[in-house]
Chain A
Amino acid sequence: MNAVPTTLRAGPDANGHFGAFGGRYVAETLMPLILDLEKAYIAAKADPAFTAEFEHLLAHYVGRPSPLYFAESLTAHLGGAKIYLKRDELNHTGAHKINNCIGQILLAKRMGKTRIIAETGAGQHGVATATVAARFGLPCVIYMGARDIERQAPNVFRMKLLGAEVRAVESGSRTLKDAMNEALRDWVTNVHDTFYIIGTAAGPHPYPELVRDFQSVIGKEARAQIMAAEGRLPDLLMAAIGGGSNAIGLFHPFLDDASVRMIGVEASGHGIETGQHAASLAGGRAGVLHGNKTMLLQDEDGQITEAHSISAGLDYPGIGPEHAWLHSIGRVEYQAATDVEALDAFQMLCRTEGIIPALEPAHALAAVKRVAPTMAADDIIIANLCGRGDKDIFTVAEALGVTL
């Protein structure tokens, strides 16, 4: 009897589960909506016209494919493996978030929805959502934690320029998780006309799957690009993890390539031991929040605890369910980088490569800095540079004690 071919790329199952994680933990009012979304997504995937429009917009509006750049100076600086950067920070709007927003707004249009809502942390997803809403002429409301509004002022102004209404969320920790609560409250109230563009590979099924699929363009391109440049697969993939959409987008097309090691890098804030961090795998437990079962920062009573990271985009107490599963089966390694390590890596990339990264991928670069010197000179690393750092200059200046 032949062995059954196995793949790690087939998930989720019909009920939206990745192993013990994922699922559809939403209020009954929303169930018919997410079942409709699932049907619409299945139909869209099978429709060549949908794929063609998605790819056309990625090429001509977003500017894809993004380059896979050999960071020669950084490689020389660290002394070890060859480091390639997947330059998703060069996308229109400055981060990988736009890939997913293009896909979801096309779904919204297909479903006849006339109003867009989204949550945002660092503001990159908010900007990307406001961008596609403007492009397709739909009114757009972005929920953003009041604390994030304070620390990401440039992105708030960008969203407003793009015609979005930015609603400050004052509840809870006033960050990304609270913005997501408020977006869910809006959605449950405006069920007939509203499409909720979730920004990361989390939430109720089918969001983790469809966000991953839209972001997988990163890994598909990187695979073709590294084959063209080096004639072989990379040895290691590195990406930062908040919810984990840029990481799953890079990793997913390589999951069945056993020779490719993958490291996802969580934000350990002031350090896991301090309790002030955003590392839900390293410091969390399985639980249910925002429509999915995943690893969460929570106390022994199941109350969600506040995350901390210098990076507003990683400041979330959960993680996408597919990462929770990949962690549980050991296919992907997960490490963490502190605020201090991320700041250090941020400056390292500025000075070695002339690239100002966002604080989110600076966490991945911090792990590259640790790991690359331990590898051989002919080993290959691809790190996902998922966003640019213009939005973070005020945060970085403050952290470095510089008054602008």
Chain B
Amino acid sequence: MTDRLSTRFAACAAEGRAALVTFVTAGDPDLTTSAAVLRALVASGADVVELGMPFTDPMADGASIQLGNIRSLTSGTRLRDVLAMIAEYRREDDATPIILMGYFNPILAYGPARFAADARAVGLDGTIVVDLPPEEAAELVPDLNAQGLHLIRLATPTTDAARLPRVLDGASGFLYYVAVAGVTGANAATASDVAAAVARLKQATALPIAVGFGVRTPDQAAAIAVHADAVVVGSAIVDAIGAASAERANDIPARVGALVAGLATAVRGARLKDAAA
């Protein structure tokens, strides 16, 4: 099986730029809109898409993504609907990597083996399970591996040199660096902190390093794109969806597209600008 993640990261690297990873909660504010948002993300320059699996108790998420989860659940989104949405999308785009991100309990309820099999069948590439650290990962990893899917590992500012090998043991796809200790939508890390952290991680792994948490604006994304292999933006996009759905706007995908286009331009130009500076 062609690995969409490694292909896409290699393509971005060949262009001499970081990848833009965008996060939205699947089904936010409803499945129909969310499917159009997914198309808009990719059409506007997202290189990798992370879709949140809605959960009632998103403990690692700040207010923005909590609200996205509530909007999605309130409109009736179920995990099987999210998988169906990915299957539908794959009919038109078989290249863009798609990652599910969420919490373990909905996967446990679905059944880890069934989840992995269905996820592969719809064309998913991997998953990030926030509350499944390496210590508990054996509950899911064998099923994912059997289907050729990645469990994306997370490193954080609290991951010290003693801890890092544990995080990297069995890591694949890419390494997600959580740039600040906190919940999603938190304050931004400084570019110099991110640069130092990426350099430290690069010493320990050949996996691409994606940096997220606290990245909201094109300028912030560009500053990280100079150093990291990928930049993750989530809460800012989810906020835009939240604001638009509060207005009952019917142009949510277009608004998301405009926001992502700005981020994509900044990420694509970041290293050229940095070299020129």
**A interface list, Cβ under 8 A from B:** 15, 23-33, 35, 171-172, 177-178, 181, 184-185, 188-192, 285-291, 296, 298, 300-304
Cβ-defined partner of B130 (8 Å) among A27, A32, A185, A190: A27
Check A298/B105 contact, CB under 8 A, given A185-B59, A189-B183: yes
Most buried by A among B79, B103, B183: B183
Q: Is the CB of B135 within 8 A of A29?
A: no
- Is the beta-carbon distance between B73 and A29 smaller than 8 angstroms? no
B154 and A28 contact, CB distance less than 8 A: yes
- Assuming A25-B133, A188-B183, is B158 touching A287 (CB within 8 A)? no
Beta-carbon contacts of B95-120 to A below 8 Å, as 1s and 0s? 00000000111111110000000000
Give 29 pairs: A residue, B residue, CB < 8 Å, sorted on A.
A23-B136, A24-B133, A25-B132, A25-B136, A26-B131, A27-B131, A28-B133, A28-B153, A28-B156, A29-B60, A29-B157, A29-B182, A31-B133, A32-B163, A172-B57, A181-B58, A185-B62, A188-B183, A189-B181, A189-B183, A189-B186, A286-B108, A288-B103, A288-B108, A298-B105, A301-B109, A302-B105, A302-B108, A303-B105
CB–CB A302/B107 < 8 A: yes
Residues on B lying within 8 angstroms of A by beta carbon are 55-60, 62, 66, 73, 78-79, 103-110, 130-133, 135-136, 153-160, 163, 167, 178, 181-183, 186
Measured between beta carbons, the chain A residues less than 8 angstroms from B78 are 301
Query: Of all chain A residues, which has the CB nearest B103?
Result: A288
Cβ of B131: which chain A residues have Cβ within 8 Å of it? 25-27, 288, 291
Chain B residues within an 8 Å CB radius of A300: 109
- Report the nearest B residue to A304, measured CB to CB: B56
Question: Could you tell me the distance in whole angstroms from the C-beta of B120 to the nearest C-beta in chain A?
Answer: 20
A33 engages B110 (CB within 8 Å):
no
The interface residues of chain A lying within 8 Å CB-to-CB of B136 are 23-25
Q: Is the CB of A27 within 8 A of B66?
A: no
For A189, give its contact among B55, B73, B155, B182 (CB under 8 Å): B182
Quick check: A33 and B105 within 8 Å, CB to CB? Answer: no
- Rounded to whole angstroms, the CA-CA distance of A25 and B105 in the bound complex is 10
A32 to B157, CA, bound (A): 10
B183–A25 contact, CB under 8 A? Answer: no
Among residues of B, the one whose C-beta sits closest to the C-beta of A191 is B181
Residues of A within 8 A of B109 (CB): 285, 287, 298, 300-302
A119 shortest CB reach to chain B, Å: 12
Query: Is B73 touching A303 in the complex (CB atoms < 8 A)?
Result: yes
Distance in angstroms from B141 CB to nearest chain A CB is 14
* A286 and B108 alpha carbons, distance in the complex (Å): 9
Q: Within 8 Å CB of A30, what residues of B?
A: 158
With A287-B108, A302-B106 already in contact, the answer to whether A31 and B182 are too (CB < 8 A) is no
Chain A residues closer than 8 Å to B158, beta-carbon distance: 28-33, 191
CB distance A287 to B105 under 8 Å? yes
Closest chain A residue, CB of each to CB of B63: A171
Tell me the smallest distance from the CB of A39 to a CB of chain B, in Å: 12
Give A28's nearest chain B residue, CB to CB: B154
Query: Binding site of A, secondary structure by majority: helix, strand, loop or mixed?
Result: mixed
Most B-side CB within 10 Å, residue of A30, A171, A285, A302: A302
Q: Is the CB of A301 within 8 A of B110?
A: yes
A-B contact count (CB 8 A): 115
Contacting residues, chain A, for B55 (C-beta < 8 A): 302-303
From B79, B155, B186, contact of A301 by CB (8 A): B79
Q: How far is the CB of A288 from chain B (nearest CB, A)?
A: 5
Is there contact, CB below 8 Å, between A303 and B106? yes
Chain B residues with CB under 8 A of A24? 133, 135-136
CA distance A173 to B235 in the complex (A): 23
Q: With a 10 A CB-CB cut-off, give which of B59, B103, B136, B153 has the most chain A CB atoms.
A: B59
Option from A31, A285, A290 in Cβ contact (under 8 Å) with B59:
A290
Given contacts A24-B133, A25-B133, contact A289 B108 (CB under 8 A): no
Q: How far is the CB of B223 from chain A (nearest CB, A)?
A: 22
Q: Are B104 and A288 in contact (CB under 8 A)?
A: yes
A198 to chain B: closest CB distance in Å? 13
Please measure, in the bound complex, the distance between the C-alpha atom of A172 and the C-alpha atom of B135, giving whole angstroms: 29
CB within 8 Å for A288 and B56 given contacts A28-B155, A28-B167, A31-B135:
no
List B contacts of A302 (CB < 8 A).
55, 79, 105-110
Q: Chain B residues near A191 (CB, 8 Å)?
A: 157-158, 181
Let me know if A27 and B108 touch, CB within 8 A.
no
A25 touches B60 (CB 8 A): no
Contacts of B73 in A (CB 8 A): 303
**In the docked arrangement, what's the CA distance between A34 and B275, Å?**
42
CB-CB nearest in chain B for A299: B109
List, in ascending order, chain A residues with CB within 8 A of B178's CB: 28-29
| Contacts beyond the supplied A288-B104, A289-B57: 10 A-B pairs with Cβ under 8 Å | A25-B133, A26-B133, A29-B157, A29-B182, A33-B158, A188-B60, A285-B109, A286-B108, A298-B105, A303-B105
Given A301-B110, A304-B57, A185:B183 Cβ within 8 A = yes
Residues of B within 8 A of A23 (CB): 135-136
Q: Across the interface, which residues of A come within 8 angstroms of B156, CB to CB?
A: 27-29
Q: Is the CB of A27 within 8 A of B57?
A: no
Q: Report the minimal beta-carbon distance from A103 to chain B, rounded to whole angstroms.
A: 24
Closest to B73 in A: A303
Tell me the minimal C-beta distance from A37 to chain B in angstroms.
13
Contacts of A185 in B (CB 8 A): 59-60, 62, 182-183
Which one, A171, A192, A301, contacts B106 given CB within 8 A?
A301
Residues of A within 8 A of B182 (CB): 29, 185, 188-189
Q: Given the complex of chains A and B, what is the CA–CA distance between A30 and B178 in angstroms?
A: 12
Question: Which chain B residues border A303 with CB–CB below 8 Å?
Answer: 55-56, 73, 105-106
Across the two chains, which residue of chain B brings its CB closest to A301?
A: B78
Give CA–CA (A31, B108) in the complex, Å: 21
Knowing A188-B60, A303-B73, A304-B56, say if A28 contacts B159 (CB, 8 Å): yes
Is A304's CB under 8 angstroms from B105's CB?
A: yes
In the bound complex, residues from chain B placing their C-beta under 8 Å from that of A289 are 57, 105
A33 CA to B109 CA, complexed, in Å = 28
Can you list the 10 inter-chain pairs with the closest CB atoms, starting with the nearest? Answer: A302-B109, A302-B106, A189-B182, A29-B156, A302-B105, A28-B154, A25-B131, A27-B60, A304-B56, A303-B56
